[in-house]
Amino acid sequence: MKNIKKIGIITGGGDCSGLNAVIDGVTKSAIRKHGLEVVGYYRGYHGLLNNEFMELDLKKASGIMHRGGTILKSSNKDNLFNYRVQNEDGSFEHKDVSDVAVANMKKEGVDALVVIGGDGTLTSARDFYRKGIPVVGVPKTIDNDLPATDVTFGYNTSLETITDALDKIHTTAHSHDRIMVVEVMGRNTGWLALEGGLAGSADIILIPEIPYDINKVVEKIKERDSIGKNFSVVVVSEGAKPKGGEVTIRETVEDSADSIRLGGIGDVVTHQLQKLIPEHEVRYTNLAYIQRGGITSQFDRALGLQFGVKAVDLLMTGNAGSMVQLRGRKLTSIALEEVVGRGETGETSVGGAKHVDPNGQLVETCRAIGISFGE
């Protein structure tokens, strides 16, 4: 679009590998292909509210693609449409401060935004588009749970981290005839546990989509004992839950768009197994935040670069209000209204989590080679 001369980049939500590759793709294609100026806002929408940003040029975008995290930093606590502010009497209330952000953009001559994030970040991107700001979203999550795209960048790097960790944990499990319980991220979906566990030779994988029976887990361990395999590796998704039970909540963060933080189910499973099979030593490892960081994989570098270039192209061809998506091997786009929440008509969108199919090909592959889901 001829009226777009300067664009801003926002990285919101949790960090992951591949964010810098997107920043690289946006910045270089905006400058080289379209002759635009580029700025990057610090700490997501926090920077947009406080007018804190850095000028991005070819030099600053060079040499960052392989790095994990984001050079712009990030935040998942700044919903400008429902922002927590402190009153003079010390009390708190939530206000819509999005007009301040829009005024900051106009002051600096920023005409459009490329917003990189997950559910909460992209919901705000949609809301800024409704206010008349040209916006294009780029989907980001290590959990791979966004239904509007086949794959999100950051997921592949996280899988490599999980697989590498399981390879290492196997040696200790085998050496000491131990049961090793490994908890991984994923929120309410089991993609990381499923694909990471499959590649990392897990014996048991517990995921949210298939509620488990702890006695079935014990049966699998004893089955392995009976054939001389006196150790087992159990991969547990943070959103896994027992049949008839609930998820394990680590904490609640009130001022976050994603206030419910899961975690600790691996510890629960460990204690249960230690009581049920006292002849075994059972140990627990939570991979936690190491799944978010590290050197970005080749796949995520290439995908991030392509997402970034496509985002700028969408802006410049009059397709604001959309999100980049990968379908098969082709990059295309989808309206933000269809990705998050509900559209203006109130019709149900295609938003929500993308869940593992309990009878899908990946799960059936696991079952075929003897991996148990505690069913």
Question: If you search the block for the tokens 């889901």, which residue do you land on?
Answer: 373
User: What DSSP string describes 150-209?
Assistant: S--BTHHHHHHHHHHHHHHHHHHHHHHTEEEEEEE--TT--HHHHHHHHHTT-SEEE-TT
CATH for 158-292+357-368 is: 3.40.50.460
What is the pLDDT at residue 104?
Answer: 98
C-alpha radius of gyration, the chain, whole number:
22
Q: Are 318 and 312 in contact (CB under 8 A)?
A: no
Q: Are 16 and 154 in contact (CB under 8 A)?
A: yes
Q: How far apart are CA 173 and CA 201, in angstroms?
A: 12
pTM flag (> 0.85): yes
What is the pLDDT at residue 351?
Answer: 46
Q: Which amino acid is at 233?
A: V
Residue 278 has phi, psi (to 5 degrees) of: -65, -15
Q: Which residues contact 240 (CB under 8 A, 6 or more apart)?
A: 190, 193, 206, 207, 208, 211, 212, 247, 265
Q: Which residues are tagged catalytic?
A: 143
The domain locations on the chain are: 6-153+296-339, 158-292+357-368
* Class of the CATH-defined domain 6-153+296-339: alpha beta
What is the pLDDT at residue 348?
Answer: 32
Per-residue pLDDT of the chain (375 residues; tens, 9 = 90+): 569 999 999 999 989 999 999 999 999 999 999 999 999 999 999 999 999 999 999 999 999 999 999 999 998 888 999 998 989 898 989 999 999 999 999 999 999 999 999 888 999 999 999 999 999 999 999 999 988 899 999 999 999 999 999 999 999 999 999 999 999 999 899 999 999 999 999 999 999 999 999 999 999 999 999 999 999 999 999 999 999 999 888 877 666 656 677 889 999 999 999 999 999 999 999 999 999 999 999 999 999 999 999 999 999 999 999 999 999 999 999 999 998 854 333 333 344 678 999 999 999 999 999 999 999
**Residue 146 tokens, joined:** 């966004």
Domain 158-292+357-368 in the same topology as domain 6-153+296-339: yes
Q: How far apart are CA 12 and CA 75, in angstroms?
A: 6
**Residue 347 tokens, joined:** 């019709």
Q: How far apart are CA 233 and CA 240, in angstroms?
A: 16
Q: How far apart are CA 155 and CA 292, in angstroms?
A: 9
- Cβ-based neighbour number of residue 59 at 10 Å: 7
What is the pLDDT at residue 259?
Answer: 65
Q: How far apart are CA 303 and CA 153, in angstroms?
A: 6
Q: Are 136 and 324 in contact (CB under 8 A)?
A: yes
